A and B are shown apart, each in its own frame.
Chain A
């Protein structure tokens, strides 16, 4: 599908979605609460057929967080980026996509570990890289570490 066709189809499915085409890929901008039905659609609708989640990460904008999902269709050879806004920086939460793409299970644990985003209905929401007793989330802009020597 071309970007225009994808935008048209997504707008039909989710009228509130916004788009950004300034980057390499087409980005679909949604709110965190709207993420899950959209992701299900992208995975199960054969016109999208996004069978590969190749990147899952998070961005801290201080005022809010953004979850970023890079999806690829092996059949259609198109890439779609979904960006979900999380307004609550003190208690960021979003539905898991680990049951749609199994690979998200560890990626979401990593995001939880470093950004503190909690993934609802995730099967194993524990820290992945840091110690279990680690306090805080190091990749957050407001992270404080007394031992850190800042340049």
Chain B
């Protein structure tokens, strides 16, 4: 997909005498709408959450890409950014939060800890070695912690992923 295509509204405009007719695919329209209005869950467990907050505030401002409606309840969220170390005691809580989110839902694993346990991979009795042991992950961002630019890149990557899904087709194929 060319760079310009990403930004284009997914439809063709046919001019008529009194205006025009828009022809599009329902899948593409829905995905276009969904991907530009992802509501993240307010969830952070350690230092990555500080970078996540930074990505939300005025300097990086993730609302430019449609993420501004951060939700404090999983029941209204589409996206969970796992920002920080997940310990054994937190894992069931995270699973429960994920289960409470309505489909379709997405997961970004932010930072080394959520990808693999990161600095806590060796000699630990308490840290989950990768959040994908608990919930399925859509996009991984490496870093310790990743900069806000990296998080924005991951979020835009997720939007690209959503735009290629088939909402009415086979459905979102995700392992549970």
Contact = CB atoms under 8 A, between A and B. Distances in A.
Contact of A130 (B89, B121, B129): B89
Nearest to B88: A131
Contacts, number: 20
Interface in A134-151: 138, 143, 145, 148-151
Interface residues of A, number: 10
Contact of A138 (B89, B122, B126, B129): B126
B124 interface: yes
B168 interface: no
A148 B88 contact: no
Contact of A150 (B89, B122, B126): B122
Interface residues of B, number: 9
Max chain A Cβ within 10 angstroms of own Cβ: one of B88, B122, B125, B129: B125
A88 B124 CA distance: 26
Interface string B121-133: 1111110010000
Contact of B123 (A129, A130, A131, A151): A151
B85 to A, nearest CB: 14
B124 A148 contact: yes
B121 to A, nearest CB: 6
Interface of A is mostly: loop
B126 A151 contact: no
A145 B122 CA distance: 12
Interface in B79-129: 88-89, 121-126, 129
B138 to A, nearest CB: 26
A151 B125 CA distance: 13
Nearest to A151: B122
A129 B87 CA distance: 11
A149 B121 contact: yes
A130 B87 CA distance: 10
B123 A148 contact: yes
Contact of A131 (B89, B121, B124, B129): B89
Interface of B: 88-89, 121-126, 129
Interface of A: 129-131, 138, 143, 145, 148-151
13 contacts: A129-B89, A130-B89, A138-B125, A138-B126, A143-B125, A148-B123, A148-B124, A149-B121, A149-B129, A150-B122, A150-B123, A151-B122, A151-B123
